[in-house]
Structure 1
Amino acid sequence: MSDRTMARQVLLFIWFLSLSSALGQVSYSIPEEMAKGSLVGNIAQDLGLDLKRLKSGKARIYTGDSAEYIELNKERGVLLIKERIDREALCGQTTPCALHLQIILENPMEFFTVTIEITDVNDNTPIFKKRSVVFKISESVILGSKFMLEPAVDLDVGINGLQSYMLKPTDNLSLKFKNQAGDGKHVEMVLQKPLDREKQNEINLVLTAVDGGDPQLSGSIDIHITVLDANDNAPVFMQSVYKATVTENAPKDTIVSTVSATDADEGINSKIEYSIANMEDDVQRLFAINRDNGQVSVVGIIDFERARNYEIRVQASDQGGLTDSCKIIVDVVDINDNAPVINIMSKTNVIAENSASETVVTMINVQDVDSGDNGKVQCSVNENIPFSLKSTNNNFFSLVTDGDLDRERESEYNISVTCADEGVPSLSSSVTLSLQISDVNDNAPVFEQSSYQASVQENNTPGLSIFTVRARDADFNQNARVSYILEDSSVNGVPVSSLVSVSADSGVIHAVRSFDYEQIKEFQFRVKAQDGGSPPLSSNASVKILIQDQNDNAPQVLYPVQSGASVVAEIVPRSADVGYLVTKVVAVDVDSGQNAWLSYKLHKATDRALFEVGAQNGEIRTVRQVTDKDAVKQRLTVVVEDNGQPSRSATVNVNVAVADSFPEVLSEFTDFTHDKEYNDNLTFSLVLALAVVSFLFIVSVIAILSVKCYRWRRERMFYKSGANLPVIPYYPPLYADVGGTGTLQHVYNYEVCRTTDSRKSDVKYGRPCSESIISLDTSGTQTLTHAQRGKLVSGDFDDQVRLSY
């Protein structure tokens, strides 16, 4: 190796090491042929990494073809020889020879570049391709004539490569070396002593090639020279070096160059034949020369990525064995015939939707073996996605997030990474990365409505399903699992949980107990929907339940009061006109709506032609003029019916006395209490018993009648004199009077007052009643129940009279 070549390689190696140091890379130098398992270097120490970091980061080696030679021992943090390295097989004649690999770490992602130089050892002997070579040299060849010899090939480089040749014997010929850039040592034989075919027609020589290794290795070739007769001029090339260019992938038979040589001889001795003297397989395989005209053409496939130039050595020989040589330097022109190659170095398949911006998803390496612009690569990702590519180093890219991720908007991304070179036309490659977005609990359940309203009929069955609330959660799996919870509250002092319950899974609202419309008409509560995330998110909605009334209460008659202790009779004078108001049936229904709409009708009557009942107001009126023929005792049965479905009803018996005088009433009503029910099938025994009792009663009445009549006349005198008769409040059973107001056991209040004729639509409050109310005890004695609390009032005889026995 020349001093110039050696200096150039040393400078190149020093520059490479300085560049590696500047970039924070680690470099090692090892000899080839090291045993498997040999130590290359302590990578953890040199990179300043902890052994735990190598394990937690899943440290691994990434490289193209170097993975089969080097392995990483994470336990020790060292690089070891994985397979025997043959520098000649790996790099050929290229120096320096180096392996380039990357150490990849995850969580977080990091990578480091490692360069391992493979130094040469003297493990190859210089060899000649042929075992022997034959020359035919004319005896007339002039001194100084040159004969080109096949060079030896030594796969080693540097000092271990081919260093010198030795020729033995050297009686007629000596060696001449030709050192040319890039092609090692070439040798020629130079005639230094004239040949004499008559003395020696054949000469046998041995050419030995020696390298500079230690120990020194050598190889030899036999040279057989046949001395010919008289060919005094050797061929001479017009120039010693030709230059040519050829594009890679040039079609076969493409003309690369044409060489030309001349021979001053004449005749057959001037005929020149051309041949390629290269012994390397590539040249012989890719190029061929026309033996007659020296035209060099392409016969194989030329690849710029394999070799960027070729040196073709051409030999011109005449028939006398004289030769000359030249060489053709062929530069290969690169074309853009290689698309970029995308390598996935590290990849994440799932990323959380709340990942921060600039989170690394994937690291890729892109290689384009073309040169110049044809090898410059630009990468991009598809548009409208929250990801971008960042260049981290030469031909290394990181795919990172650059926007907010939302699994509910997009749960998966197919990211297309496209890398294109800058050649013309441009070539590109693409790879699709599938990335799942994992869910986080960032969405609270949402009800379909903010408030709900439902209704249920009273007297429902406990456990009845009333209504269903629904909430949706846009999250996934457990984060979207909604549970429904009844919020604590009270209704009229009662916990709402004692009224309704809600199914945690389905949101169905059930009645806990049977509802009573008369106790509660409506109530409101809130339902919370809570997801299964951690921490859970929730929302709530209000629910209003309306209780629908059922017709479950029959009308209740307030007046007239039905009591077994006394009989109440309404007095109608015989002078009453048509439409005379006898009395008014007052009834209530604690239901509501149409269930509380009451209607009245006359069910039974002693004389149906005499009375009628107002269907809406319950007023009992005469429908004709009262005559003397009408019976004093009149019994009416009034039915009060609500408007429910089905309807409910109540009946009330009204006793009416048709008379103009009180004695007439007494004479007719003495046995009235025994006529509450008309029975046409009285047995004989009952009739007999009634007669005996009546006899005894009449005797008693006669005994005190005089006293009663005297008192009655006296009171009649007061009555006619205009004295006020106090209002005697009459309260139905089980009802109480508070401040002059009749109050039901429920929430309904009725005030007892006197009304005038409803047909006149005149209601009077606080005025003295014109109603004559007389109480008769069972002995027939007339008393004024409230005579001590007010004055008697005078009035017409057509006022209503209440009689009790």
Structure 2
Amino acid sequence: MSDKTMARQVLLVIWFLSLGSALGQVSYSIPEEMAKGSLVGNIAQDLGLDLKRLKSGKARIYTGDSTEYIELNKDRGVLLIKERIDREALCGQTTPCALHLQIILENPMDFYSITIEITDMNDNAPSFEKGRISFRISESAILGSKFMLEPAVDPDVGINGLQSYTLNPTDNFNLKYNNQPGDGQNVEIVLQRPLDREKQQDVILVLKAVDGGDPQLSGSIEIHITVLDVNDNAPIFTQSVYKATVTENAPKDTIVSTVSATDADEGINGKIEYSITNMQDHVRHLFDINKENGQVSVVGVIDFEKARNYEIRVQASDHGGLTDSCKIIVDVLDINDNKPVIDIVSKTNVIAENSPSDTVVIMINVQDPDSGENGKVQCSINENIPFSLKSVKTNFFSLVTDSDLDREKESNYNISVTCTDEGVPSLSSSIILCLQISDVNDNAPVFEKSSYETSVQENNTPGLSIFTVSASDADFNQNARVSYILEDSSVNGVPVSSLVSVSADSGVIHAVRSFDYEQIKYFHVRVKAQDGGSPPLSSNVSVKIIIQDHNDNAPQVLYPVQSGGSVVAEIVPRSADVGYLVTKVVAVDVDSGQNAWLSYKLQKATDRALFEVGLQNGEIRTVRQVTDKDAVKQRLAVVVEDNGQPSRSATVNVNVALADSFPEVLSEFTDFTHDKEYNDNLTFYLVLALAVVSFLFIVSIIAILSVKCYRWRRERMFYKSGANLPVIPYYPPLYADVGATGTLQHVYNYDLCGTADSRKSDLKFLRPASQSVLNVDLSGMSTVPKQNRNTEGLDVSAEVRLILADVYIAFFLRNFYSYAYSGLKQCNKCYLQAMQCS
């Protein structure tokens, strides 16, 4: 391609791009004959669209006809060649040649206009319809006589089209050609030197047609001239240009025009024949001329939508070979012969009833190939429906909502769209559009009651059905499908989902585990009913579940405490009167109601005639006077029984000592033996706890010593540095005031009682003179005072420090082991309860 041609195409592309920007369109320019899959342009970038928008909007190309040369690649956002484009087949001689298409997007609906100019390539060589041209020219032909030649045909346009001719040889004839608007070149040979039949009867010339492409293409034809004798006048038309009109779809043999030419010759040399010489178009398929009288008539189908005018070139020839030419300009008159064509560009079959006004439902394109008033189209829809038809752009209409939709009143619509042109008579087309209104979830489920209450007995079976809740929804189908959900909450710190569950479909509330009345008396749960709409609607209701008690707990004896390490005995003096209160058995039952009513009975005793137990209060009293014959050591077994069905009971052993002095009691009770039950797991836990406590104690001592050493070193550094260290807050140790102020002048007495059993160790500042209950250690050591100290007569400061050190150490050890033992006992209790539950 030459530099000049390239410059012209660049200017043309720039012009199209500037025009597209002004009109809100995108224009491209591509050459014809591009291979399939070739890139046309990046439409996403040029339109400023995101690739996700192309996919979500279901982008597609709308051309308005069945021919699709361009395809859209949504993954890359580019336009590609779908079919090979032949500019000559697409546009013929029309310039510029362009494809017009639209990019349609949905959700929301939008479209963009795209113009693609098809530039010409030099892919066609000039050609002649016939293989040769023959003339019969008289030797007496006048110099300057013109002989019309068949022009060459080149489908290319512009610089690639036919540009020039060459004639060889040029002994007798010169070539003359000029451009004729609408009909290419008018090619003639002009006689420059007379013909001499006697010298040369046949003259052969070669006419070569050349285009302006790069490289140039050419075609040639031979001109055979037969030199005749005597014909010196050529035909002459009365007009060089004739004008005529014809209506489209005119019937065959309709006379369009009549041409006339005259020849001054006589006889055979004056007889004229008419012919049509158009070679580049389909004129000879639509019109014909009577070679005798010059009448031009219709022989094909005239269609205004294909061509609005025709140019017919007519040649008049006499038998001497002389010719003349003229042309007929035929204008085609349009008639209203095309109905509007309705094409659905985009359609939504279902629309929600809560759609806002001006929601686009359907977009249609209406085309009428007619012109003028015959091509103007108006569209309308049936009345009394909540829709309207709006004109979006030329030939594009959108059906939109213009009022509220109610599916309960009308669930579907049949919309008739009628499009009518303004021709006389007018033509119309119509289509029926079916549109369904979808339901919207606008009703929440409703329970039958505002709250529910039910009960279940404790120790129930897991999975037991407790209660059923039910709710209804006035919506339709999925929007009316109710599911039941247990809302998150907690009962005494426990998630409610670990107590009960609810069936999502039926609303049946099931027990997840067995309930214990002693742990929980009742609880509330909230059940939510949710429909299947989107978004879902819901309501909730409160359900109170009451746990009914069951006699599943035996009485527990609180006093006297049964100890495995020592014997606890109640001392009754032999001088006790009848009805003397020995002790009282205290028991509780964690059940409720009659299941917790307790009664006390004496099961067995060393002497049943000596003691009795109160049925309701558990008081053990003497029923007769104690005698010397009664044994010192008395053992009673008391049964505590509740009032449940069936009843449960517990037994407690009470040791009673009939004596007036402690030595007697000690001598008798040293032989008391108790059955000991050892539990391997409990022993392990006790050892482990003791080790942990000892470790913590050692760590604490080390930490205290470390702090003391650190402070001592700081003081040493302070005194050695001569107060040159940075200012550090220093607080001297506290000293007790033991001077003349009288601090600690009174006698300070204390008792420290220690045994091998840490639970028996005690530190008291005041000690009672007597006690009614005697603690006896099984190791044989009685509880006796260990150490008595008096601060009188000693150095006050040293004595106080010694006393306080002993007190602190004893107090610390006593509390330390007491707390450790209490913790171990609690662990043992928890362990035994866990074993019982398992």
Interval containing the TM-score (normalised by the shorter chain) = 0.5 to 0.7
Q: Which amino acid aligns with 2:399?
A: L
Alignment CA distance shift 1:429-1:161 (3 Å): same
Alignment CA distance shift 1:278-1:163 (3 Å): same
Equivalence map 1:745-764=2 (5 Å): none
Equivalence map 1:123-522=2 (5 Å): 123-280=123-280, 282-442=282-442, 475-479=475-479
Partners of 2:288 and 2:239 lie apart in 1 by: 20
> How much has 1:67 moved relative to structure 2?
5.8
Q: Which amino acid aligns with 1:320?
A: G
Alignment CA distance shift 1:137-1:369 (3 Å): same
2:34 corresponds in structure 1 to 34
> How much has 1:363 moved relative to structure 2?
1.6
Q: Which amino acid aligns with 1:244?
A: A
Preserved contact between residue 444 and residue 530 of structure 1 (Cα < 8 Å):
yes
**1:249-276 alpha-carbon deviations (Å, 9 max, x no partner):** 0011111000000001112211111111
Q: Which amino acid aligns with 1:105?
A: L
Give the 3-state SS of the residue equivalent to 2:282 in structure 1: helix
Partners of 2:246 and 2:103 lie apart in 1 by: 40
Q: Which amino acid aligns with 2:372?
A: G
Preserved contact between residue 13 and residue 96 of structure 1 (Cα < 8 Å):
no
> How much has 1:139 moved relative to structure 2?
1.2
Alignment CA distance shift 1:319-1:14 (3 Å): farther
> How much has 1:10 moved relative to structure 2?
11
Equivalence map 1:517-596=2 (5 Å): 536=537
Alignment CA distance shift 1:174-1:474 (3 Å): farther
> How much has 1:124 moved relative to structure 2?
0.3
Give the 3-state SS of the residue equivalent to 1:20 in structure 2: helix
Partners of 1:341 and 1:399 lie apart in 2 by: 17
Preserved contact between residue 353 and residue 437 of structure 2 (Cα < 8 Å):
yes
Partners of 1:202 and 1:181 lie apart in 2 by: 34
Give the 3-state SS of the residue equivalent to 1:68 in structure 2: coil
> How much has 1:24 moved relative to structure 2?
1.3
> How much has 1:446 moved relative to structure 2?
12
Alignment CA distance shift 1:371-1:10 (3 Å): farther
> How much has 1:159 moved relative to structure 2?
0.1
Alignment CA distance shift 1:253-1:67 (3 Å): closer
Preserved contact between residue 16 and residue 28 of structure 2 (Cα < 8 Å):
no
1:82 corresponds in structure 2 to 82
> How much has 1:197 moved relative to structure 2?
1.2
Partners of 1:161 and 1:244 lie apart in 2 by: 29
Preserved contact between residue 440 and residue 479 of structure 1 (Cα < 8 Å):
yes
Give the 3-state SS of the residue equivalent to 2:315 in structure 1: strand
Q: Which of structures 1 and 2 has the bigger CA Rg?
A: 1
Partners of 2:8 and 2:265 lie apart in 1 by: 45
Preserved contact between residue 179 and residue 185 of structure 2 (Cα < 8 Å):
yes
1:20 corresponds in structure 2 to 20
> How much has 1:332 moved relative to structure 2?
0.7
> How much has 1:476 moved relative to structure 2?
2.7
Give the 3-state SS of the residue equivalent to 1:150 in structure 2: coil
2:497 corresponds in structure 1 to none
> How much has 1:174 moved relative to structure 2?
1.2
> How much has 1:16 moved relative to structure 2?
5.4
Alignment CA distance shift 1:404-1:28 (3 Å): same
Q: Which amino acid aligns with 1:106?
A: E
> How much has 1:401 moved relative to structure 2?
0.9
Give the 3-state SS of the residue equivalent to 2:214 in structure 1: coil
> How much has 1:142 moved relative to structure 2?
1.0
Alignment CA distance shift 1:231-1:249 (3 Å): same
Preserved contact between residue 66 and residue 99 of structure 1 (Cα < 8 Å):
no
Alignment CA distance shift 1:7-1:483 (3 Å): closer
> How much has 1:279 moved relative to structure 2?
2.5
Partners of 1:372 and 1:18 lie apart in 2 by: 29
Q: Which amino acid aligns with 1:193?
A: R
Alignment CA distance shift 1:267-1:532 (3 Å): closer
Q: Which amino acid aligns with 1:90?
A: L
Partners of 1:250 and 1:67 lie apart in 2 by: 28
Partners of 1:110 and 1:140 lie apart in 2 by: 75
Preserved contact between residue 144 and residue 190 of structure 2 (Cα < 8 Å):
yes
Preserved contact between residue 25 and residue 114 of structure 1 (Cα < 8 Å):
yes
Give the 3-state SS of the residue equivalent to 2:303 in structure 1: coil
Q: Which amino acid aligns with 1:441?
A: N
1:57 corresponds in structure 2 to 57
> How much has 1:71 moved relative to structure 2?
1.5
> How much has 1:110 moved relative to structure 2?
1.3
Q: Which amino acid aligns with 1:299?
A: V
Give the 3-state SS of the residue equivalent to 1:45 in structure 2: helix
**1:484-513 alpha-carbon deviations (Å, 9 max, x no partner):** 9xxxxxxxxxxxxxxxxxxx999xxxxxxx
Out of 224-233 and 66-75, give the one that drifted further.
66-75
Preserved contact between residue 408 and residue 474 of structure 1 (Cα < 8 Å):
no
**1:515-539 alpha-carbon deviations (Å, 9 max, x no partner):** xxxxxxxxxxxxxx99875655899
Partners of 2:473 and 2:252 lie apart in 1 by: 70
Q: Which amino acid aligns with 2:129?
A: K
Q: Which amino acid aligns with 1:329?
A: I
Partners of 1:387 and 1:419 lie apart in 2 by: 16
Alignment CA distance shift 1:11-1:80 (3 Å): closer
Q: Which amino acid aligns with 2:305?
A: E
Partners of 2:276 and 2:331 lie apart in 1 by: 17
Preserved contact between residue 168 and residue 206 of structure 2 (Cα < 8 Å):
yes
Partners of 1:334 and 1:348 lie apart in 2 by: 37
Q: Percent identity?
A: 84
Alignment CA distance shift 1:117-1:376 (3 Å): same
Alignment CA distance shift 1:118-1:281 (3 Å): closer
Give the 3-state SS of the residue equivalent to 1:253 in structure 2: coil
Alignment CA distance shift 1:216-1:505 (3 Å): closer
Out of 266-275 and 245-254, give the one that drifted further.
266-275
1:101 corresponds in structure 2 to 101
Tell me, which stretches of 5 or more residues in structure 2 are unaligned?
1-5, 448-470, 485-503, 507-528, 541-838
> How much has 1:480 moved relative to structure 2?
5.0
Alignment CA distance shift 1:402-1:19 (3 Å): farther
> How much has 1:330 moved relative to structure 2?
0.6
Give the 3-state SS of the residue equivalent to 2:93 in structure 1: coil
Give the 3-state SS of the residue equivalent to 1:420 in structure 2: strand
Preserved contact between residue 413 and residue 435 of structure 2 (Cα < 8 Å):
yes
Partners of 1:16 and 1:397 lie apart in 2 by: 27
**1:153-210 alpha-carbon deviations (Å, 9 max, x no partner):** 1010000000011111111111111312122212011111111111111100011110
Alignment CA distance shift 1:81-1:531 (3 Å): closer
Preserved contact between residue 480 and residue 532 of structure 1 (Cα < 8 Å):
yes
User: TM-score, normalised on structure 2?
Assistant: 0.53
Partners of 2:126 and 2:314 lie apart in 1 by: 23
Alignment CA distance shift 1:216-1:8 (3 Å): closer
Alignment CA distance shift 1:474-1:283 (3 Å): farther
> How much has 1:83 moved relative to structure 2?
2.0
Preserved contact between residue 245 and residue 256 of structure 1 (Cα < 8 Å):
yes
User: TM-score, normalised on structure 1?
Assistant: 0.55
**1:398-433 alpha-carbon deviations (Å, 9 max, x no partner):** 211111111111111112222222211111222222
Partners of 1:145 and 1:118 lie apart in 2 by: 43
